[in-house]
Structure 1
Amino acid sequence: MKTESRGNTSISLQDPTLFTAPQSSLPGALRGCLGSLDGACIEKLLLHCASALESHDVTLAQQVMWVLNNVASSLGDPNQRLTSWFLRALISRASRVCPTPMNFNGSSALQRRLMSVTELAGYVDLIPWHRFGYCASNSAIFKAVEGYSRVHILDFSITHCMQWPTLIDALAKRPEGPPMLRISVPSWRPPVPPLLNVGSEEVGQRLANFAKFKDVPFDFNVIEDPSSPTTVAAISKASSDFHFDLLLSKLDPSILNLRDDEALVINCQNWLRYLPDEQNVSGSSNETCNSRDAFLDVIKGLNPRIITVVDEDSDLGGSSLTSRITTCFNYLWIPFDALETFLPKDSDQRMEYEADIGHKIENIIGFEGVQRIERLESGFKFSQRMKTAGFTNLPFCEETLREVKFLLDEHASGWGMKKDEDMLVLTWKGHNSVYATAWVPCGFEDSGV
Structure 2
Amino acid sequence: MERFTWPKNLSSRCKRTIQGLLHGQNPTKKLRHLFDTHSQTSNDTGQPLFTEDLIMGVLGSFSYTQSLSSSTQSDEVLQVPTNACVRSQASEGSESVKSHFQRSPVSILQRQPLMEAATAISEDRADVAWDILTRLSAMPNPVGNYSEQKLMVYMLSALKSRVSPVDNPPPVAELFTEDYLWWDLSLYEESPCFNLGFMAASRAILEAASEQPSTNKLHVIDFGISSEGQYRDLLYELSKRQAGNQSTLKITTLADSFDREERLRIVGDRLGELAATRRVRLVFNIVSQKLSELSRDSLGCEADEVLAVNLAFKLYRIPDESVCVENPRDELLRRVKGLAPRVVTLVEQEMNGNTAPFKVRVGEALAYYGALLESIESTMRWAPSKRARMEKGLSGKLRNTVACEGRERVERSEVFGKWRARMEMAGFELKPLGQHVAELLKATLRCNQGYTVKEENGGVCLGWGGRTLTVASAWRQTPLAPLAPLTPIFPPKKRYVMCYRRRWRWR
| TM-score normalized by the length of structure 1 | 0.76
Q: Does 2:248 correspond to 1:205?
A: no
CA shift in 2, pair 1:172/1:421, >3 Å: same
Identity %: 24
Distance (whole Å) between structure 1 residues aligned to residue 143 and residue 468 of structure 2 = 25
CA shift in 2, pair 1:188/1:75, >3 Å: farther
Distance (whole Å) between structure 2 residues aligned to residue 329 and residue 278 of structure 1 = 26
SS of corresponding position for 1:341: helix
SS of corresponding position for 2:241: coil
Q: Does 2:320 correspond to 1:272?
A: no
Higher helix share: 2
Q: How does 1:27-426 map to 2 (within 5 A)?
A: 28-29=76-77, 38-69=106-137, 70=139, 72=141, 77-96=146-165, 109=171, 114=178, 123-146=187-210, 147=213, 148-157=215-224, 159-176=226-243, 177-190=245-258, 199-225=263-289, 246=290, 248-279=291-322, 290-344=327-381, 347-410=384-447, 412-426=448-462
SS of corresponding position for 1:373: coil
Distance (whole Å) between structure 1 residues aligned to residue 358 and residue 404 of structure 2 = 10
Q: What is the Cα deviation at residue 65 of structure 1?
A: 1.1
Which amino acid is 2:450 matched to?
G
SS of corresponding position for 1:395: coil
Asked if the contact 1:135/1:403 (under 8 Å) is kept, the reply is: no
SS of corresponding position for 1:182: strand
CA shift in 2, pair 1:40/1:117, >3 Å: closer
Aligned pairs, number: 386
Which amino acid is 2:391 matched to?
E
Asked if the contact 1:20/1:62 (under 8 Å) is kept, the reply is: no
SS of corresponding position for 1:348: helix
Q: What is the Cα deviation at residue 431 of structure 1?
A: 1.3
Which amino acid is 1:52 matched to?
A
CA shift in 2, pair 1:291/1:197, >3 Å: closer
Q: What is the Cα deviation at residue 31 of structure 1?
A: 9.4
Which amino acid is 1:417 matched to?
V
SS of corresponding position for 1:145: helix
Q: How does 1:430-449 map to 2 (within 5 A)?
A: 430-443=466-479
Q: Does 2:25 correspond to 1:25?
A: no
Asked if the contact 2:322/2:355 (under 8 Å) is kept, the reply is: no
SS of corresponding position for 1:162: helix
Distance (whole Å) between structure 2 residues aligned to residue 270 and residue 206 of structure 1 = 22
CA shift in 2, pair 1:346/1:154, >3 Å: closer
Distance (whole Å) between structure 2 residues aligned to residue 439 and residue 390 of structure 1 = 10
Distance (whole Å) between structure 2 residues aligned to residue 388 and residue 296 of structure 1 = 10
In structure 2, list runs of 5 or more residues that go unmatched. Answer: 1-66, 82-103, 482-507
SS of corresponding position for 1:254: coil
Q: What is the Cα deviation at residue 58 of structure 1?
A: 4.3
Aligned residues: CA RMSD: 3.5
- 1:16-58: CA deviation from partner (whole Å, max 9, x where unpaired): xxx999724245156989xx97222344322221233345544
Distance (whole Å) between structure 1 residues aligned to residue 194 and residue 164 of structure 2 = 34
Which amino acid is 2:452 matched to?
G
Distance (whole Å) between structure 1 residues aligned to residue 263 and residue 379 of structure 2 = 32
In structure 1, list runs of 5 or more residues that go unmatched. Answer: 1-18, 226-245, 283-288
Distance (whole Å) between structure 2 residues aligned to residue 437 and residue 151 of structure 1 = 19
Distance (whole Å) between structure 2 residues aligned to residue 58 and residue 122 of structure 1 = 36
Q: Which residue of 2 aligns with 1:243?
A: none
Distance (whole Å) between structure 1 residues aligned to residue 143 and residue 298 of structure 2 = 49
Q: Which has the larger radius of gyration?
A: 2
Which amino acid is 2:115 matched to?
L
Asked if the contact 1:165/1:210 (under 8 Å) is kept, the reply is: yes
Q: Which residue of 2 aligns with 1:235?
A: none
CA shift in 2, pair 1:357/1:46, >3 Å: same
Asked if the contact 2:186/2:389 (under 8 Å) is kept, the reply is: no
- 1:330-389: CA deviation from partner (whole Å, max 9, x where unpaired): 111112111232444993332321221110111011111110011111111111211222
CA shift in 2, pair 1:76/1:23, >3 Å: same
Distance (whole Å) between structure 2 residues aligned to residue 118 and residue 279 of structure 1 = 29
- 1:49-80: CA deviation from partner (whole Å, max 9, x where unpaired): 12333455444223211343336479953222
CA shift in 2, pair 1:120/1:22, >3 Å: closer
CA shift in 2, pair 1:291/1:52, >3 Å: same
SS of corresponding position for 1:325: helix
Distance (whole Å) between structure 2 residues aligned to residue 189 and residue 74 of structure 1 = 40
Asked if the contact 1:153/1:265 (under 8 Å) is kept, the reply is: yes
Which amino acid is 1:341 matched to?
S
| TM-score normalized by the length of structure 2 | 0.68
CA shift in 2, pair 1:259/1:74, >3 Å: farther
CA shift in 2, pair 1:276/1:122, >3 Å: closer
